[in-house]
């Protein structure tokens, strides 16, 4: 299950350095900067971005749903290179962060921590990315580098009609730049930075687009290579202290003073990461009516360790964690995508076919010694810290096909209809072993010589079929009624195979279980909008979202007193919202705002048995509501201001009584009025942007931004309220023609925050200690961009 430790060198490829240095210093004619969002062009008016959220071209203002769009040019100018950076500045989104490539996104108070599916859909162009049905690292789908994206669209609220079951809380669409058949283009980007308590980070990206046959065939190549040396120290202490009494009285296990224990090994800046990303886009336009787009994308993320710091007995500000054995981590995340998109103009409508196949493989291995010592000490009275390695593999692949017809023209009646099919396969494997514990096996050590404490094999297959249609009719050019519905059917099969000391048999004899489920239904949508003027749009919407159910691993009765529930049912929401979009003062001010209320039925949530076994179940009902606001204003020709924020009330309204007896923290987690986990009470982002012409050729740009996240609740073994935090960034740039240079300071105040605590072990939560995922400390850097 281990993968060779490639890409750990950390040296910048000299060929790419030479290429970028040459392009940056080459003299070329002045060219327009091309920022499309209106914040970098020095004009008196905010510019709008064309979006395709409703499967046809429109602007944000004229699209009557809650949507945020950011152009590729603005992503580059603002230094937003990861999706987490974007999400922090968009209202209505929250994140459960684990590591690069391991971020779970939530919208409107609907966390993805429970169930077998995420609540937020992720799309690359028209390709849906699902998440692992059993992954212990969260419901992350894909976390690509954002270089050379055409734009990002973030759709809030259920998108069940056009985007399906995985978009209960909203949808994130990453639109890549297609091949350009008319002209040659190229771009490059080089970044170097220094992180407090860390080292030198670097990144290099390049794009080249060339027409092979003018106006008929073009190829676009994109490549990115980024490295960060990390900032968390891993410290091995031995003998490792287990608490003041030298014993573990569950659930009152405590750590001793690890800072006073002898240090036998130390690895500074342990959580290094390396990202490699490549895309090939081919556009073929043999006739005016036919456009064919091929996309191949591959991404590799490798990490030395997770960005976690010890909370217990150390404190996250120390940026370190302690462990009893010198066992290295090994973490890899691979994504490969292949898609074929065909558009044909039938005069009255556009026929679109999207065929895609993708694979996502995450593997990790790391030290699990302290977790196993907590469990073994309590259940079997053995206090030793025996070397224990945890291995996990999550493999996913999906084939999908969507065919749709979209009406053309400017008539009062507009419509889109289509068919969707997907075959999703997920396979998770876990393996935890300590040879010194073989004697604890049922029947003795002979039947389990490697001391397997827990192992599982969990294949899962889900097939989905859907028929969808959405139509709108505009009355008197001002009032528009949109009605849509998606009829769906799915079937799922889950196989469970577990063995080891902490399983039903207590040895290598497997415990087998299998469940299957199927369901069909419909997710309707009704939207009424009123275009009062060319610059004011009001709308109201009612829509439904849906997630399928799934299966659990059976817990060992001998230790837990119960197997736990073996399956859980689907959940669904009804979303009610009203909103407005307005451009005022001659286009110098834009305000987009909405208010929503969500009713959540049969809520899927992750819980934990008192013996530390996690499981999924339907806990009852919940509600979520709040306002969302985005404001952009041109203060004058040189400065503009943007503000985005939301307050979210997300709470349980009723609970299944059967869950209150054998669940950790039942009274903390499962009472009416108890907040839903991982949802901040509020978020706020503010940015002041400047574009100042120094001469006819040179422009000075600047950006001062802050993002604030309110307090929220999280859980590992116990529920804990995590404090809110604020990050402030500063970015200054100089641009002329096709080149630009940016100096920046991220996290000016060097704030270290707890982003998540549900991370310290990928096997079982234990009460003995706690770790938190933390953010990157203050980072100072410089970016060089060039395009022609």
174-227 pLDDT, tens per residue? 999 999 999 999 999 999 999 999 999 999 999 999 999 999 999 999 999 999
Pairing of strands 58-59, 50-51: antiparallel
- Residue 135 confidence class, pLDDT cut points 50, 70, 90: low
Q: What is the mean pLDDT of residues 310-322?
A: 89
Residue 34's pLDDT is: 30
340 burial level (CB within 10 Å; 0-12, 13-18, 19+): middle
Residue 276's pLDDT is: 96
412 CB contacts (<8 Å, ≥6 apart)? 473, 474, 475, 477
Residue 505's pLDDT is: 87
Tokens describing residue 298? 């591959």
> Got the DSSP string for 723-776?
PPEEEEEEEEEEEETTEEEEEEEESTT----EEESTTS-SS---SS--EEEE--
Better pLDDT: 164 or 234: 234
Q: What is the mean pLDDT of residues 118-136?
A: 79
Residue 663's pLDDT is: 66
| Pairwise CA distance, residues 435 & 387, whole Å | 8
Other beta carbons within 10 Å of 404: 20
Residue 238's pLDDT is: 92
| Pairwise CA distance, residues 173 & 121, whole Å | 8
Residue 12's pLDDT is: 36
Size of the chain in residues: 788
Strands (E), 694-724: 698-709, 712-715, 719-722
Closest CA to 206 of 124, 276, 133, 307: 276
Residue 138's pLDDT is: 54
> Would you say residue 42 has pLDDT above 70?
no
Residue 254's pLDDT is: 73
Residue 1's pLDDT is: 34
Residue 668's pLDDT is: 59
Under 8 Å between Cβ of 637 and 604: no
Residue 715's pLDDT is: 80
Mean pLDDT of the chain: 86
Other beta carbons within 10 Å of 449: 12
Q: What pLDDT, in 10s, does the model give residues 519-530?
A: 888 999 999 999
555 CB contacts (<8 Å, ≥6 apart)? 562, 563, 564, 609, 611, 613, 615
**Per-residue b or e along 361-397, where b marks 16 or more CB atoms closer than 10 Å to that residue's CB:** bbbbbbbbbbbbbbbbbbbeebeebbbbbbbbbbbbb
Residue located via tokens 């290579």: 225
Better pLDDT: 250 or 152: 152
Q: Which of 109-113, 257-261, 648-652 has the highest mean pLDDT?
A: 648-652
Q: What pLDDT, in 10s, does the model give residues 672-694?
A: 788 888 899 999 999 999 999 99
> Would you say residue 43 has pLDDT above 90?
no
Residue 255's pLDDT is: 81
Other beta carbons within 10 Å of 277: 21
3-state secondary structure of 114: coil
Q: What pLDDT, in 10s, does the model give residues 220-269?
A: 999 999 999 999 999 999 998 876 555 555 556 678 888 889 999 999 99
Residue 648's Cα: distance from chain center in Å?
19
Residue 84's pLDDT is: 87
Q: What is the mean pLDDT of residues 623-641?
A: 94
Q: Domain residues of the chain, as ranges?
A: 14-787
| Pairwise CA distance, residues 55 & 49, whole Å | 15
> Would you say residue 336 has pLDDT above 60?
yes
Which contiguous run of DSSP H or E holds residue 538? strand 536-547
622 CB contacts (<8 Å, ≥6 apart)? 600, 603, 650, 651, 652, 653, 676
Under 8 Å between Cβ of 34 and 150: no
Better pLDDT: 120 or 140: 120
- Residue 660 confidence class, pLDDT cut points 50, 70, 90: low
| Pairwise CA distance, residues 17 & 20, whole Å | 5
481 CB contacts (<8 Å, ≥6 apart)? 472, 473, 475, 526, 527, 528
> Would you say residue 499 has pLDDT above 70?
yes
Pairing of strands 149-156, 170-176: antiparallel
Question: Assign residue 431 a region: left if phi > 0, alpha if psi is -120 to 50, beta otherwise?
Answer: beta
Q: What is the mean pLDDT of residues 376-404?
A: 89
Q: What pLDDT, in 10s, does the model give residues 17-33?
A: 333 333 333 333 332 22
Better pLDDT: 489 or 564: 489
Tokens describing residue 138? 């969260």
Better pLDDT: 477 or 766: 477
- Residue 645 confidence class, pLDDT cut points 50, 70, 90: very high
| Pairwise CA distance, residues 173 & 120, whole Å | 11
CATH 3.40.50.1370 applies to domain 14-787: no
> Would you say residue 657 has pLDDT above 80?
no
Which contiguous run of DSSP H or E holds residue 369? helix 369-380
| Pairwise CA distance, residues 300 & 338, whole Å | 15
User: What sign results for the dihedral spanned by CA atoms 249, 511, 437, 372?
Assistant: negative
147 burial level (CB within 10 Å; 0-12, 13-18, 19+): buried
Pairing of strands 320-323, 233-237: parallel
459 CB contacts (<8 Å, ≥6 apart)? 425, 426, 427, 494, 495
Residue 22's pLDDT is: 37
| Pairwise CA distance, residues 274 & 332, whole Å | 10
Q: What is the mean pLDDT of residues 593-599?
A: 97
> Got the DSSP string for 470-500?
EEEEEETTTEEEEEEEEEEEEEEEEEEEEES
Residue 768's pLDDT is: 73
Residue 458's pLDDT is: 87
Residue located via tokens 């499967």: 55
Q: What is the mean pLDDT of residues 454-469?
A: 91
Residue 616's pLDDT is: 80
Residue 248's pLDDT is: 56
> Would you say residue 512 has pLDDT above 70?
yes
Q: What is the mean pLDDT of residues 383-389?
A: 89
| Pairwise CA distance, residues 145 & 126, whole Å | 18
410 CB contacts (<8 Å, ≥6 apart)? none
Residue 27's pLDDT is: 32
> With pLDDT > 70 as the criterion, what percentage of the chain qualifies?
89
Residue 5's pLDDT is: 37
Strands (E), 548-638: 550-551, 567-568, 571-584, 589-601, 604-608, 614-618, 620-634
> Would you say residue 71 has pLDDT above 50?
yes
Tokens describing residue 273? 């990461």
Q: What pLDDT, in 10s, does the model give residues 700-749?
A: 999 999 999 999 988 887 788 999 999 999 999 999 988 999 999 999 99
> With pLDDT > 90 as the criterion, what percentage of the chain qualifies?
54
11 burial level (CB within 10 Å; 0-12, 13-18, 19+): exposed
Residue 38's pLDDT is: 42
């Amino acid at each position: 299950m281990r993968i060779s430790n490639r890409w750990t060198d950390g040296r910048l490829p000299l060929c790419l350095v030479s290429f970028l240095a040459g392009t940056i210093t080459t003299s070329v004619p002045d060219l327009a900067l091309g920022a499309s969002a209106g914040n970098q062009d020095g004009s008196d008016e905010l510019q709008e971005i064309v979006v395709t959220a409703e499967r046809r071209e429109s602007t944000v203002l004229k699209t009557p749903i809650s949507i945020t769009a950011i152009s590729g040019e603005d992503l580059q100018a603002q230094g937003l290179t990861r999706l987490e950076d974007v999400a922090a500045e968009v209202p209505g989104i929250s994140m459960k962060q684990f590591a690069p490539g391991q971020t779970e996104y939530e919208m409107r108070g609907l966390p993805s921590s429970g169930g077998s599916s995420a609540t937020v859909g992720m799309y690359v162009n028209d390709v849906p990315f699902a998440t692992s049905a059993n992954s212990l690292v969260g419901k992350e789908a894909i976390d690509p580098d954002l270089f050379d994206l055409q734009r990002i669209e973030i759709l809030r609220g259920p998108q069940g009609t056009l985007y399906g079951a995985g978009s209960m809380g909203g949808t994130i669409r990453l639109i890549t730049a297609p091949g350009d058949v008319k002209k040659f283009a190229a771009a490059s980007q080089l970044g170097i930075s220094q992180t407090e308590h860390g080292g030198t980070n670097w990144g290099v990206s390049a794009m080249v687009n060339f027409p092979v046959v003018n106006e008929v065939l073009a190829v676009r190549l994109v490549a990115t290579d980024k490295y960060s040396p990390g900032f968390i120290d891993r410290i091995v202490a031995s003998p490792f202290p287990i608490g003041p009494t030298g014993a573990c009285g569950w659930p009152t296990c405590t750590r001793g003073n690890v800072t006073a224990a002898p240090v036998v090994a130390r690895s500074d800046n342990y959580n290094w990461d390396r990202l490699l990303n490549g895309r090939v886009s081919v556009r073929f336009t043999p006739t005016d009516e036919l456009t064919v787009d091929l996309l191949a994308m591959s991404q590799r993320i490798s990490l030395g360790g997770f960005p976690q710091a010890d909370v217990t007995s150390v404190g996250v500000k120390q940026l370190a964690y302690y462990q009893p054995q010198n066992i290295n981590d090994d973490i890899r995340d691979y994504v490969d995508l292949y898609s074929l998109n065909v558009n044909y103009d039938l005069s009255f409508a556009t026929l679109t076919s999207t065929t895609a196949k993708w694979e996502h493989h995450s593997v990790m291995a790391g030290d699990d010694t302290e977790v196993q010592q907590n469990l073994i000490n309590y259940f079997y009275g053995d206090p030793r810290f025996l070397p224990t390695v945890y291995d996990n593999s999550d493999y996913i692949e999906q084939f999908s096909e969507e065919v749709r017809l979209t009406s053309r023209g400017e008539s009062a009646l507009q419509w889109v209809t289509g068919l969707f099919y997907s075959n999703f396969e997920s396979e998770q494997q876990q393996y935890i072993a300590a040879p010194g514990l073989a004697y604890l096996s049922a029947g003795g050590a002979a039947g389990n010589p490697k001391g397997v404490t827990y192992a599982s094999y969990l294949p899962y297959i889900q097939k989905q079929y859907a028929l969808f249609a959405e139509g709108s009719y505009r009355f008197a050019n001002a009032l528009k009624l949109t009605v849509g519905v998606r009829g769906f059917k799915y079937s799922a099969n889950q196989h469970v195979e577990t063995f080891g000391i902490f399983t039903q048999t207590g040895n290598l004899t497997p415990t087998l279980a299998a469940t299957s489920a199927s369901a069909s239904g419909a997710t309707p949508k009704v939207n009424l909008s009123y275009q009062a003027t060319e610059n004011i749009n009001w709308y109201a919407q009612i829509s439904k979202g849906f997630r399928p159910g799934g299966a659990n691993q059976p817990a060992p009765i001998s230790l837990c007193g119960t197997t736990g529930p073996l399956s859980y049912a689907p959940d669904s929401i009804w979303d009610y919202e009203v909103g407005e979009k307005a451009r005022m003062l001659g286009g110098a001010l834009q305000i987009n705002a909405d208010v929503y209320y969500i009713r959540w039925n049969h809520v899927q949530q992750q819980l934990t048995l008192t013996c530390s076994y996690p499981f999924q179940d339907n806990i009852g009902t919940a509600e979520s509501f709040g306002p969302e606001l985005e404001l952009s204003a041109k203060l004058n020709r040189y400065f503009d201001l943007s503000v985005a924020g939301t307050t979210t009330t997300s709470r349980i309204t009723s609970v299944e009584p059967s869950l209150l007896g054998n669940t950790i923290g039942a009274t903390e987690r499962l009472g009416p009025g108890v907040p839903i986990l991982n949802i901040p009470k509020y978020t706020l982002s503010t940015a002041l942007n400047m574009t100042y012409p120094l001469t006819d050729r040179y422009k000075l740009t600047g950006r001062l931004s802050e993002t604030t996240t309110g307090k929220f609740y999280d859980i590992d073994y116990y529920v804990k309220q995590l404090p809110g935090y604020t990050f402030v960034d500063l970015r200054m740039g100089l641009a002329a023609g096709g080149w630009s240079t940016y100096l920046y300071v991220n996290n000016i105040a060097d704030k270290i925050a707890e982003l998540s605590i549900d991370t310290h072990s990928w096997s079982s939560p234990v009460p003995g200690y706690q770790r938190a995922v933390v953010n990157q400390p203050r980072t100072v850097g410089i970016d060089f961009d060039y395009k022609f």
